[in-house]
Amino acid sequence: MVYSCAFVRYDEVACLPGSPADSPQPAAGCLEAAATVVSNVGLAASVGCVGLVKNLYFDVVCVSEHLNAAKRIAELMRAGASKWPGIRSLSVMSFLSAEVADGHSVDIADYTEELHEACCSLTALLPGIRRLWFDHDNHVVLLGALGGQLASHYGMQLEELQCHCPIPLPHNGRFTQLRNAHINLSDQNGSRLPFIDPTMLERLTLSDAPPTHSWAAFNCNSDSWAIDFPTLQHLHLEYGDVDEESD
């Protein structure tokens, strides 16, 4: 169907000097930045097709670390409808412009309240998510943290989780319905994962696993070392690069 897929592209790079918008480039860490937003969300809402949308795609390109993209997207969705109950799949691609990526750092603790508000706004609009797909470069810290909160919120209903980049999954989360999972274990996840019910999994990929990787997150019985994957059809375990100490 024409309206089965909705998309939102949030692009700050398009507003840099030399672009049609010709807006000034904000400094790294700036909380305000001009952006162009292109979407078919308003069209779907205007013709009464909100209930037909099943898949939602966010494509975010930022020139500074902030949560403006999430706020703008939530506002855009809310302008069309208070809820989009038919959407089952959410895919998010986000990248930080190379001009500001090098050397920048962000402390997630400084954005706890904003992250919570952004997560609540999006989950209220999208109550029926069953599939999450994330991909971003390693410089995108805040949107990555938001992705982790979204995954945790939907944990009890998610059937598929695709984290092709480091997403900090809250350790107190629970994933009890996952059938297909791809989780990048580098950096932020390390060897600590929330509980993932192994009895539901059909496909499991763990990439960039550290040498200290543990299977404890898949253990349903703390009194036993044995972990049973009765429905698993595909398993791929990929270890990350290990720095070798020179003699």
- Which token pair is 28? 């790294």
Do 147 and 27 have their domain in common? yes
pTM of the predicted model, to two decimals?
0.85
- Quote the percentage of the chain above a pLDDT of 90: 53
Check whether 19 has a pLDDT greater than 60.
no
What pLDDT, in 10s, does the model give residues 42-63? 999 999 999 999 999 999 988 7
Do 75 and 145 have their domain in common? yes
Pick from 154, 183, 202: which residue ends a domain?
154
At residue 225 the predicted structure's pLDDT band, cuts being 50, 70 and 90, is confident
What pLDDT, in 10s, does the model give residues 106-162? 788 888 999 999 999 999 999 999 999 999 876 678 888 899 999 999 999 999 999
- Residue 178 lies in domain: 158-247
Beta bridge partners of 158: none
Q: Residue with structure tokens 């938001």?
A: 146
At 111, the amino acid letter reads Y
Pick from 126, 154, 182: which residue ends a domain?
154
Query: What CA–CA distances, in Å, run from 34 to 61, 62, 98, 132, 176?
Result: 12, 10, 17, 28, 40
At residue 14 the predicted structure's pLDDT band, cuts being 50, 70 and 90, is low
Do 39 and 124 have their domain in common? yes
At 36, the amino acid letter reads T
Do 121 and 36 have their domain in common? yes
User: What's the chain's average pLDDT?
Assistant: 84
DSSP assignment of 120-189: HHHHHH-TT--EEEEEE-TT--HHHHHHHHHHHHTTTT-SEEEEEEE----TT-EE-S-SEEEEE-TTTT
Q: Is 228 left (phi over 0), alpha (psi -120 to 50) or beta?
A: beta
Do 243 and 220 have their domain in common? yes
Q: How many domains does the chain have?
A: 2
Do 115 and 233 have their domain in common? no
- Quote the percentage of the chain above a pLDDT of 70: 81
Do 32 and 103 have their domain in common? yes
Confirm if 204 and 233 have CB atoms less than 8 A apart.
Answer: no
At residue 25 the predicted structure's pLDDT band, cuts being 50, 70 and 90, is very low
Q: What share of the chain is helix, strand, coil (3-state, %, to 5)?
A: 25, 25, 50
Do 42 and 136 have their domain in common? yes
At residue 26 the predicted structure's pLDDT band, cuts being 50, 70 and 90, is very low
At residue 180 the predicted structure's pLDDT band, cuts being 50, 70 and 90, is very high
Do 9 and 119 have their domain in common? yes
What pLDDT, in 10s, does the model give residues 88-107? 999 999 887 655 555 556 78
Confirm if 10 and 59 have CB atoms less than 8 A apart.
Answer: yes
- The closest of 229, 124, 178 to 163, measured between CA atoms, is 178
- pLDDT of 22 reads 40
Do 162 and 139 have their domain in common? no
